[in-house]
DNA sequence: AGCACGCCGACT
DNA sequence: GTCGGCGTGCTC
């Protein structure tokens, strides 16, 4: 629709230069050719800096007049026909930048598919006479007039020559801003004549004109048109036919829809249990009344939370609104997607990390054009360009993956709350084991709690048996398998039932240690031990990827008694093969699931009963549901407990509770065996009784005593540098500065070296500020962010993380 | 980020 | 005397 707004003469632009000094809008003049088309939220190309290098920018404001003392530069080009960011997105980015101590440009870019980010090029072009150039330089250009600035053939001496030629005006530097967004097209065939005419043409064809005959047949079958690639005849035949005037060929836009092939039968909403019905009845009025209410839907594993989500989404759709549902990466399985699609069909857009950049862009455009009303996706899907949102759902709310660990360090729940407030809609946080923060807010009435304590099938939770490994270890030296565990596995194998074994990998892996001198092989770049990989026969660093050979003798004392210690999935797999030679074992860990789709293939294989035992790391704890699994074994429950992190108890509890829910979900009785060295630890005790309430009470007391979240807010400042001294010096300096502005109520933890002091040849120190109310803190941190630019120059990196979730 | 300006060491 | 080192400041 044509609007009657006057032409725009000036725009405010956020440029793609992620630094603190440039974290502000810059004003540009709009040339007449663009003044009628340019709009807020569009991407533009603008000259920036001394050399007028071209950079991408986002228009965040427009104005008729600009009164400045300096000359304004002009917008170089528009990158969009319509805005890629709406008013909501621009406000959200602004808020997020302030809240997470990030640059506005970083926030804007995180909200968009990666292909909308510009690719930059720098070229050397010939401006003078090519023939007068030195032969050596001319050779670089070959037949071209432009040369990539970073071309590998350019030697340092050539660089000097090029610089001189540039000064003489023979050469010039130009900048390119390339849009990576490509729309995929395919050729669409539409008959240009009627059925009668086609039949007539067919009759007049030569007998051996096989391809033409096939084409006419195809056209007669679908007069509405079809894709050229769907009919297996040469392209030349189509081109000939077009020349004859039988048909038209049009390049039409196609979406790279990864799910298009699968035919999904529609599903009907099932009868709800009383728990589910109550939940739906509590939530749906808030959709209708545009109430910005946050709910905590706390339902045990198997209580049917997903069905509640689906019915709430249906309610939103019925009112012409849209719905946004977030799930952790690991839970976004094809089955999960299938289930949502079965209910809502083509209205569903799916955003997950398995999609290519092009596919993500296509899904994004479907949402943006209102072709999809329901979005299911992982963390970044919280920015889906939905209008008129009626409900936002975050499933498995406690998952750590909802927090982004790089700039901008946002937590999905915070963004979700902001968007829910903007759209005046409810936000549902769902979990069987809510984070303490969320649960505490429900307790205080900030969120409305909804409990779903019963499983759909009416079954109780599986029986849980704890095995004290300290006693077991005295009995036998079989490091990984206790006798009760071995017996239980044997029984399942006999009955042809399946077993899931979980190895808690966090902070625990197989490393080499010399039994003579205690030497441990460590990464030369990072301060952690190298992990043994039997399949590739080498030692790997899990942080930086450093690889080296397995030593045959100790590099320290030259003893040959250098053996591996600890437990990796590979070692357990070998032990399983020895204990149960007849069992078919599937191993699922970071190494076997690296390839795209490998994760699903393994699960499919296990689901088809092509294996007896599924052995894996944490990733098997979530979202899998196999009716024939009657035993879940946790080999090492407590390795995460010893990590220097105040959330380690919470994590352990959540993980054990989740994995326990995997046993006996159908008609068969399930058993869970947990092997632990800390059987009396409350996290393990409470998990074994599936007692969230008990755990919550105990953990809250500890949090209060220790001054942790949710009783205190926290902000983590991390300093890293190439030398230990430089990092330490800066963090202590910051410690002194921050002390000046804090009230006596605030607490400081540290400064302390991080649990892994050195990562990728950099040393890390951190300082944690725990506080309830500190009026001066935010300004201090914003100033620090400004200063961090100078630190960066000196090789010192400063990271500010609000509500950190790791390494505390 | 990337470019220019500016003030100190070894070279045509 | 100059070329060039990278410290510092700025980019509409």
Report pLDDT digits (tens) over A259-306.
Answer: 555 566 677 888 899 999 999 999 999 999 999 999 999 998 888 899
pLDDT, tens digit (0-9, with 9 covering 90-100), for A212-226: 888 888 888 888 888
| Residue A792 CB in 7 A reach of strand B | yes
CB A507 within 8 A of CB A621: no
Nucleotide with minimal C1' distance from the CA of A19 is B1
Q: What is the pLDDT of residue A593?
A: 67
pLDDT, tens digit (0-9, with 9 covering 90-100), for A390-399: 999 999 999 9
* Nearest CA among A495, A494, A514 for reference residue A559: A514
Distances in whole angstroms, Cα of residue A738 to Cα of each of A732, A772, A783: 10, 15, 11
Nucleotide with minimal C1' distance from the CA of A13 is C12
CA of A17 to C1' of B12 (A): 40
Q: Do domains A10-116 and A713-802 have the same CATH topology?
A: no
pLDDT, tens digit (0-9, with 9 covering 90-100), for A580-637: 888 888 888 766 766 667 777 888 888 888 888 888 887 777 656 777 888 889 888 8
Q: Is the preceding omega at residue A408 within 30 degrees of 0, hence cis?
A: yes
Question: Domain A10-116, what fold?
Answer: GIY-YIG endonuclease (3.40.1440)
Q: Which protein residue lies nearest to nucleotide B1, measured between its Cα and the C1' atom?
A: A17
| Residue A49 CB in 7 A reach of strand C | yes
Angle subtended at Cα A435 by Cα A434 and Cα A441, rounded to the nearest 5 degrees:
90
For the ranges A61-75, A195-209, A776-790, the lowest mean pLDDT is seen at A195-209
Average pLDDT, chain A: 85
* Nearest CA among A29, A28, A2 for reference residue A13: A28
Within residues 155-174 of protein chain A, the ones with CB less than 7 A from nucleic strand C are 160
CA quadruple A682, A749, A785, A800: dihedral, nearest 10 = -20
Domain ranges within chain A, ordered by starting residue = 10-116, 119-178, 185-253, 274-384+391-452, 463-507+567-702, 510-565, 713-802
Gap between the Cα atoms of A424 and A296, Å rounded: 17
| Residue A354 CB in 7 A reach of strand C | no
Q: What is the pLDDT of residue A726?
A: 84
Residue A354: count other Cβ atoms within 10 Å of its Cβ: 16
Q: Which CATH class is domain A274-384+391-452?
A: alpha beta
| C-alpha dihedral sign at A593, A596, A598, A603 | positive
Q: What is the pLDDT of residue A478?
A: 60
A696 or A480, which is more confident?
A696
CA of A27 to C1' of C3 (A): 38
| Residue A50 CB in 7 A reach of strand C | yes
Nucleotide with minimal C1' distance from the CA of A49 is C11
Q: Regarding the domain with residue range A463-507+567-702, which homologous superfamily does it belong to in the CATH classification?
A: P-loop containing nucleotide triphosphate hydrolases (3.40.50.300)
A544 annotated as belonging to a binding site for a ligand: yes
pLDDT class of A643 with cuts at 50, 70, 90: low
A557 annotated as belonging to a binding site for a ligand: yes
CA of A175 to C1' of C9 (A): 23
pLDDT class of A104 with cuts at 50, 70, 90: very high
pLDDT class of A763 with cuts at 50, 70, 90: confident
CA of A16 to C1' of B1 (A): 9
| Residue A18 CB in 7 A reach of strand B | yes
Q: What is the pLDDT of residue A452?
A: 94
Percent of chain A with pLDDT over 70: 90
User: What is the mean predicted confidence (pLDDT) over A716-720?
Assistant: 91
| Residue A537 CB in 7 A reach of strand B | no
Question: Domain A713-802, what fold?
Answer: Alpha-Beta Plaits (3.30.70)
On strand C, nucleotides with any atom < 7 Å from a protein CB are 4, 7-12
Percent of chain A with pLDDT over 90: 33
For the ranges A7-16, A110-119, A333-342, A570-579, the lowest mean pLDDT is seen at A570-579
| Residue A22 CB in 7 A reach of strand B | yes
């Amino acid at each position: 629709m044509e609007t009657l707004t006057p032409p725009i003469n000036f725009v405010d632009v956020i440029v793609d230069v992620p630094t603190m000094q440039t974290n502000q809008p810059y004003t540009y003049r709009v040339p007449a050719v663009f003044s009628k088309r340019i709009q807020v939220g569009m991407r533009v190309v603008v000259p920036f800096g001394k050399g007028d290098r071209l950079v991408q920018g986002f228009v965040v404001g427009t104005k008729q007049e600009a009164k400045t003392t300096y000359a304004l530069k002009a917008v170089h080009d528009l990158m969009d026909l319509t805005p890629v960011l709406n008013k909501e997105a621009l406000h959200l980015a602004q808020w997020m930048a302030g809240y997470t101590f990030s640059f506005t440009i970083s926030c804007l870019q995180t909200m968009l598919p990666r292909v909308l980010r510009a690719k930059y090029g720098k070229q050397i072009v010939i401006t003078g006479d090519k023939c007068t150039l030195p032969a050596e330089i001319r050779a670089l250009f070959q037949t071209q007039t432009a040369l990539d600035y970073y071309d590998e053939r350019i030697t340092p001496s050539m660089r000097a020559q090029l610089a001189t030629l540039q000064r003489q005006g023979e050469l010039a530097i130009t900048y390119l801003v390339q849009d990576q967004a490509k729309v995929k097209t395919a050729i669409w065939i539409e008959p240009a004549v009627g059925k009668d005419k086609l039949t007539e043409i067919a009759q007049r064809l030569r007998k051996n004109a096989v391809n033409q005959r096939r084409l006419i047949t195809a056209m007669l079958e679908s007069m509405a048109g079809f894709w050229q690639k769907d009919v297996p005849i040469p392209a030349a035949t189509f081109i000939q036919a077009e020349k004859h005037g039988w048909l038209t060929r049009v390049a039409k836009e196609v979406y790279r829809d990864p799910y298009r092939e699968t035919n999904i039968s529609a599903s009907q909403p099932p009868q709800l249990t009383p728990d589910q019905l109550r939940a739906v009845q509590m939530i749906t009025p808030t959709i209708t009344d545009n109430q910005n209410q946050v709910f905590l839907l706390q339902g045990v594993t198997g209580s049917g939370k997903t069905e509640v989500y689906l019915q709430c989404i249906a309610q939103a759709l019925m009112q012409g609104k849209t719905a946004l549902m977030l799930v952790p990466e690991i839970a976004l399985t094809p089955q999960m997607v299938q289930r949502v699609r079965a209910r809502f069909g083509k209205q569903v857009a799916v955003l997950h990390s398995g999609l290519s950049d092009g596919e993500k862009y296509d899904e994004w455009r479907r949402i943006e054009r209102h072709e999809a009303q329901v979005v299911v996706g992982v963390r970044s899907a919280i920015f889906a360009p939905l209008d008129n949102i009626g409900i936002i759902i975050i499933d498995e709310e406690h998952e750590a993956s909802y927090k982004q660990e790089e700039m901008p360090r946002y937590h999905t729940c915070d963004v979700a709350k902001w968007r829910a407030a903007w759209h005046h809609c409810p936000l549902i946080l769902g979990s069987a084991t809510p984070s303490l923060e969320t649960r505490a807010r429900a307790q205080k009435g900030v969120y409305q709690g909804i409990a779903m304590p019963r499983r759909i099938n009416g079954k109780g939770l599986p029986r849980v048996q704890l095995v004290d490994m300290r006693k077991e270890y005295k009995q036998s030296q079989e490091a990984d398998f206790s006798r009760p565990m071995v017996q239980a596995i044997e029984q399942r194998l006999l009955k042809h039932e399946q077993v899931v074994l979980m190895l808690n990998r966090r902070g625990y892996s197989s490393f080499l240690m010399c039994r003579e001198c205690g030497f441990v092989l460590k990464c030369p770049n990072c301060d952690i031990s190298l992990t043994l990989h039997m399949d590739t026969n080498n030692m790997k660093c899990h942080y930086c990827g450093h690889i080296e050979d397995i030593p045959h003798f100790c590099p320290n004392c030259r003893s040959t008694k250098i053996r591996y210690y600890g437990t990796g999935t590979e070692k357990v797999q070998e032990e399983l093969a020895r204990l149960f030679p007849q069992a078919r074992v599937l191993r699922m860990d970071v190494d076997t699931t690296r390839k795209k789709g490998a994760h699903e293939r393994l699960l499919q294989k296990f689901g088809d009963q092509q294996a007896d035992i599924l052995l894996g790391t944490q990733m098997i704890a979530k979202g899998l549901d196999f009716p024939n699994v009657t035993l879940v074994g946790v080999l090492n429950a407590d390795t995460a407990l010893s990590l220097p992190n105040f959330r380690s108890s919470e994590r352990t509890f959540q993980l054990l509770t989740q994995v326990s829910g995997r046993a006996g979900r159908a008609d068969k009785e399930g058993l869970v065996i947990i092997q632990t060295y800390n059987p009396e630890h409350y996290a393990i005790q409470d998990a074994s009784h599936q007692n969230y309430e008990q755990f919550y009470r105990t953990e809250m007391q500890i949090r209060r005593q220790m001054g942790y979240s949710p009783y205190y807010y926290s902000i983590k400042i991390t300093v890293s540098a190439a030398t230990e001294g430089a990092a330490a010096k800066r963090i202590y300096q910051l410690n002194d500065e921050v002390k000046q502005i804090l009230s006596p109520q605030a607490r400081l933890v540290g400064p302390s070296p991080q649990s892994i002091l050195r990562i990728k040849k950099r040393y890390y120190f951190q300082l944690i500020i725990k506080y309830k109310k500190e009026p001066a803190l935010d300004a201090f941190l914003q100033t620090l962010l400004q200063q961090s630019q100078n630190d960066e120059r000196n090789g010192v990196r400063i990271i500010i993380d609000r509500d950190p979730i790791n390494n505390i």
